[in-house]
Amino acid sequence: MTLYEEIGNNNRVTIVMFLLYALLYGAVVFSLLTVLGVSPSFPLFTVATLATLLLFYFIIFPNASQAILSMTGARELRKKDDPYLFNIVEALAIGAGIPMPRVYVIESDALNAFATGPDPQHSLVAITTGLRSKLNRLELEGVMAHEISHIKNYDIRSMLVAAMFALAIALIADIGIRSMFYRRRDERGGGSAIIMLLAVIGLVLAPIISALIRLAISRNREYAADASGAMLTRYPEGLANALAKIQKENEKSNSQINGVNDATRHLFIFDPAKKSLLGLFSTHPPIESRIERLRKM
Amino acid sequence: MKEIIAGLIVVVAIIMVLIYNGLVTLRNNSKNAWAQIDVQLKRRVDLIPNLVESVKGYMKHERGTLEAVTNARAAIMSAKSPKEAAKADNMLAGALKSLFAVAENYPKLEASQNFMQLQEELSGTETKIAYARQLYNDVVLQYNNAIQTIPSNIMAALFGFKGIEFFKTESEAERQPVKVKF
């Protein structure tokens, strides 16, 4: 696919996935209602869920970057510390039309980089010392362009919305299942037994399906950032080569980065968690596919 | 029946406002992108005096090369039209190229911290100028698409939104492939 087609395609896929998520949310709420019988406390429950989600979005999210920085032990880079890298990031930010993100460095032999921040005005990029030393200019540009694209496309915020959906779905499913056990005592209209069964299955499966959708969205945004980054540098080969180098190195060594857990995995350019089982459970698409798509642009 | 027509009029009016606002935003984005290029160009020009100073001590016998750089900078600062500015810009690019080529004969200069920093700064600024021009063309593309496609082209014609030219390289010399000889 050409570069333009890649970007359009990725955005359409993201929209489809969020629609799926919304449908799943609706199905779970419906299942809950079925299991409870329409409970008078439902509006209260919805308000409570929405309130916690809004709290998360407006208060916790904007300050999350600081937490991630301390978890990984990153330190801020001044221009004089590394003018070469600084100039690369500044140039790419100019090309992307966003304010320049702050630049951080993580002491680690692992080859990785990430970007985070609630919006382009409050964002940052980080790179490990290992990656910084192994890449040449074109490859560094490719990696930084990928990160800056994440910022520009508001991917971090999209992933947060997906995580909030997941949380809400998990909460509702949990409540639904708990209330089921209480309902066995009183017989409340057993006519629609099949619907009841479907509702129960729905509640049990919902968290799993939700996780799968969220991971699919994450993989899709990775492809999108690859394509947008390539568009920015007009040189897909740079990132392709960088990814190839990262894959080779990380296969050999076992270097770790501090602060990597399920909440932060998706932010990195290369999945830092070694234990990815099936393709469905990884936050990033397989490296070979990413390199292949880049080289076909 | 009257309510339906009134409703339709309201909807059309809202759409027209949205399109108009979109066009204004795109046009302003283009103007902003052009101004951003100027920011980088000025940065390049501002680096020149430092460069000349740090080089003068080492390259005592290369007055011609140094003068070419200083003259080009003066030409840029006194240019009165975009055409003059573009010409002066080319002059500066050429003069800098010669300066760095000549600097290779002076290993002590090449090794000095100051010189290396300035070289990195200048090279970084060239990259930024290129990206600023790329962004300008990207943004202008969006604007030109908007004023040419239906339905925004109707609003564009009604309110006098005109197309903007892309940034193109002026000199034929820049279109030639670069030959590298050692």
The domain limits of chain B are 34-168
Contact B135 A97 (CB under 8 A): yes
Q: What is the mean pLDDT of residues A160-187?
A: 70
- List residues in chain A touching B: CB distance below 8 A: 83-84, 87-88, 90-92, 94-97, 234
With b meaning 16 or more CB within 10 Å and e meaning fewer, what string describes A138-166? ebbbbbbbbbbbbbbbbbbebbbbbbbbb
Q: Determine phi and psi for B90, rounding to 5 degrees.
A: -60, -40
Quick check: B33 contacting A, CB < 8 Å?
Answer: yes
Chain A nearest-CA distance from B126, in A, is: 9
- Altogether, the residues listed in chain B come to a count of 182
Residues of B in contact with A84 (CB under 8 A): 120, 124
Binning pLDDT at 50, 70 and 90, where does residue A143 land? very high
Tell me the catalytic residues of A: 147
* A185: pLDDT strictly greater than 50: no
Chain B nearest-CA distance from A225, in A, is: 18
State the Cα–Cα distance between residues B98 and A234, nearest whole angstrom.
28
Of A20-34, A35-49, A77-91, A164-178, the range with the highest mean pLDDT is: A77-91
Residues of A in contact with B136 (CB under 8 A): none
- C-beta of residue A89 within 8 angstroms of C-beta of residue B35: no
Q: What sections of chain B are H helices per DSSP? A: 2-56, 63-77, 82-103, 107-111, 113-148, 152-159
- C-beta of residue A9 within 8 angstroms of C-beta of residue A154: no
User: What is the sign of the dihedral through the CA atoms of A27, A29, A32 and A38?
Assistant: negative
- Pairing label, strands A113-116, A124-128: antiparallel
* A40: pLDDT strictly greater than 60: no
The one-digit pLDDT tens for each residue of chain B (182 residues) are: 888 999 999 999 999 999 999 999 999 999 999 999 889 888 888 888 888 888 887 777 777 888 888 888 888 888 777 777 778 888 888 888 888 888 888 887 777 888 888 888 888 888 999 999 999 999 999 999 999 998 888 888 888 888 888 887 766 666 666 666 65
State the Cα–Cα distance between residues A57 and A161, nearest whole angstrom.
8
Which of the residues A84, A94, A231, A234 would you substitute to probe the B interface, choosing the one with the greatest number of B C-beta atoms within 10 Å? A94
Q: What is the mean pLDDT of residues A46-59?
A: 71
Quick check: B126 contacting A, CB < 8 Å?
Answer: no
How high is the mean pLDDT of chain A? Answer: 79
- Measured between CA atoms, the residue of chain A closest to residue B124 is A87
Residues of B in contact with A90 (CB under 8 A): 124, 128
Contact A95 B117 (CB under 8 A): no
Contact A95 B131 (CB under 8 A): yes
pTM as predicted: 0.80
State the Cα–Cα distance between residues A182 and A184, nearest whole angstrom.
6
CA-wise closest residue to A127 among A82, A96, A61, A60: A82
Chain B nearest-CA distance from A89, in A, is: 10
Residues of B in contact with A97 (CB under 8 A): 29, 33, 135, 138-139
Among all chains, which residue has been given the structure tokens 């027509």? Answer: B5
Residue B122's identity, in one-letter code, is: L
- Counting the structural domains of chain A, the total is 1
Residue A90's pLDDT is what? 94
Q: What's the CA dihedral at A90, A118, A114, B138 to 10 degrees?
A: -40
Residue B79's pLDDT is what? 79
Task: Choose among A87, A95, A96: nearest Cβ to B124.
Answer: A87
State the Cα–Cα distance between residues A172 and A31, nearest whole angstrom.
9
- Pairing label, strands A102-106, A75-76: antiparallel
Residue A217's identity, in one-letter code, is: I
Other beta carbons within 10 Å of A261: 9
Q: Which domain holds residue A234?
A: 3-295
* A187: pLDDT strictly greater than 60: no
Binning pLDDT at 50, 70 and 90, where does residue A259 land? low
Residues of B in contact with A94 (CB under 8 A): 36, 40, 128, 131-132, 135
